[in-house]
Structure 1
């Protein structure tokens, strides 16, 4: 059996010598603990940027987050092709644009560009519906037609996300009230059309919602303007030329039952301008104001506004709405894919149907 060696406790001098030797070995040649080498290699491989560049990167990251949030809120304008924007999705308060004012806007955009983007909202088929900017869109479309398809083919737009069609119509009305003036008749017309389009169940509801920021007196007047559109919208040639006072007087005549007489007068007269149209209306209005209304005239009974066909998809991204009155029917087709040749085909088929 091997003889075991007896271990002895080192002396103090021996321990000191061991410590001094260890210290000499670990400091020789600048040796460091292994973890220090790992950290140094990681820092070297990551190639850290100087402080000024790191600050710039942080600012870029913050700007990107701000831009993303602005886009989500519809605060960043994007370029949208003109063909993808529909103007008749909403019942518009503006009937048309005066040519002189439009041409002035066309020249301004041609020389200086469009300073204020239009407002739109996205539709299910991928196209866009106009909220505000009817005149600006019309001007850019005219420029596009003048220069050809390569220039002014798109327009800057803010893409909004209204919660409902009511909110979209409200935004349109507010924008036009602040900017270019809308005629009194047009104010009432958009409320009446919203009712007939099924957006509201009654005229009172339409006026109260669309003109909620207006005074009670102004809303009452707008109801009178809407009555004119309901009774005479298909007969008047120059309704936009009517002043507020003229509109209120005409509405008063309609309320006492002179609607049929007024329609008959408009149907049998040649109307060349706004002055001539008012001259035809005035005798009947004065008759109503004096209280000498012939009861034999009668008058059309007042009916609650009925919600018109809200519209339906008929294929190829085309939407059709049908409006019915007592003596007429209107058909509205809309959609980004709608072309002139389609309209010609539809008209030809209608003519063929009724000529048989």
Structure 2
């Protein structure tokens, strides 16, 4: 039979000792009445140092300033100092084709005397070098680069810039055009050219859309003129040497002749000469332009007799009568498309030139 253990009641000293040990063991134990997340929050709060109201206000202001800084940077409102070597000036085709040397000299003198008064605009070229592409400020960028080359001064090794993040490529073109229109008006030809280039680079669906988007504040008449000069760039831009010197009236006459089918004769005329001036270039084209102009005036208005306006335009969907007396007709057979030429002046030499021009049209892309 097992021996019974004798149990005796604890003394007052024993009870005091047991109570002290229990209190010591349970002092840092989690409160079973609190959820775990509440316990963590309570412990974190106890670990944080006590700060006064002024310190809390300063911390809140610092957080607000940091958020405002990031917002300004993201929206392109923050001026950054960017090394010249990190900026690609020709990341976009420029709208301005001619820079006046005297204007550049004056700009360099101004920057040297007073610094850069207006930052340039750039956009980030993710994953490419240089890391930034120029949107606006082409002349300012080149002026600073030339000052660096002339002086070697470290202050010209970088330039102040606003880093833009345009929603689409069209936004970059519009920003560039807007700045140049405000600061120094573009020529008629430059306006037409940049509209065509913007459409070709995919910023707009067509030249018509590019004119509407880039020159949205212009009048309807002005946009019509820009479209006329865009036609000149499309059909003769690779051959004209002095297009920026075209006067508005002369450019409109030239575009009218191009619409009437004068492109091939004009290209032929330009290919035969090397004009040394804008006047010589215009003189070379003028006979062709006059031959393809349509006066549209009535014969009974008095004054000098006008040439009778030929019947021109499309007849049906496959025949086109030109003001030169030539008729173009197209069709198709099992081997492809066929174009028939007939009328006054159509001979082997003209057909050969037409073939050369067709080659140009199909290869220029």
TM-score in same-fold range (> 0.5): yes
Q: 2:231 aligns with which of 203, 222, 227?
A: 227
Q: C-alpha separation between the residues in 2 aligned to 1:85 and 1:180? A: 23
2:324 maps to which residue?
294
Residue 80 of structure 1 deviates from its aligned partner by: 0.9
- Per the alignment, in what secondary structure is the counterpart of residue 272 of structure 1? coil
1:196 maps to which residue?
200
8 A Cα contact 1:144 1:153, kept in partner:
yes
Residue 260 of structure 1 deviates from its aligned partner by: 1.3
Q: Tell me the matched-pair count.
A: 260
Structure 1 residues 169 and 116, CA, compared in 2 at 3 Å: closer, same or farther?
A: same
1:89 maps to which residue?
91
Q: C-alpha separation between the residues in 1 aligned to 2:246 and 2:327? A: 25
Q: C-alpha separation between the residues in 2 aligned to 1:325 and 1:247? A: 23
1:106 maps to which residue?
108
8 A Cα contact 2:168 2:203, kept in partner:
no
Question: Structure 1 unaligned runs (5+)?
Answer: 1-44, 299-323, 331-356
Question: Structure 2 unaligned runs (5+)?
Answer: 1-48, 296-306, 308-322, 329-358
1:120 maps to which residue?
122
Deviation string, structure 1 residues 203-235 (Cα, Å, up to 9, x no partner): 212222222222222222111111000111011
8 A Cα contact 1:90 1:165, kept in partner:
no
8 A Cα contact 1:93 1:186, kept in partner:
yes
Structure 1 residues 107 and 58, CA, compared in 2 at 3 Å: closer, same or farther?
A: same
- Per the alignment, in what secondary structure is the counterpart of residue 162 of structure 2? strand
Q: 1:283 aligns with which of 270, 284, 287?
A: 287
Aligned residues: CA RMSD: 2.9
- Farther off after superposition, 53-62 or 84-93: 53-62
* TM value normalised by structure 1: 0.65
8 A Cα contact 2:260 2:293, kept in partner:
no
Residue 247 of structure 1 deviates from its aligned partner by: 1.4
- Per the alignment, in what secondary structure is the counterpart of residue 247 of structure 1? helix
1:210 maps to which residue?
214
2:174 maps to which residue?
170
Greater RCO (Cα-Cα under 8 Å, separation 6 or more): 1
8 A Cα contact 1:93 1:173, kept in partner:
yes
Residue 58 of structure 1 deviates from its aligned partner by: 7.3
Residue 77 of structure 1 deviates from its aligned partner by: 0.8
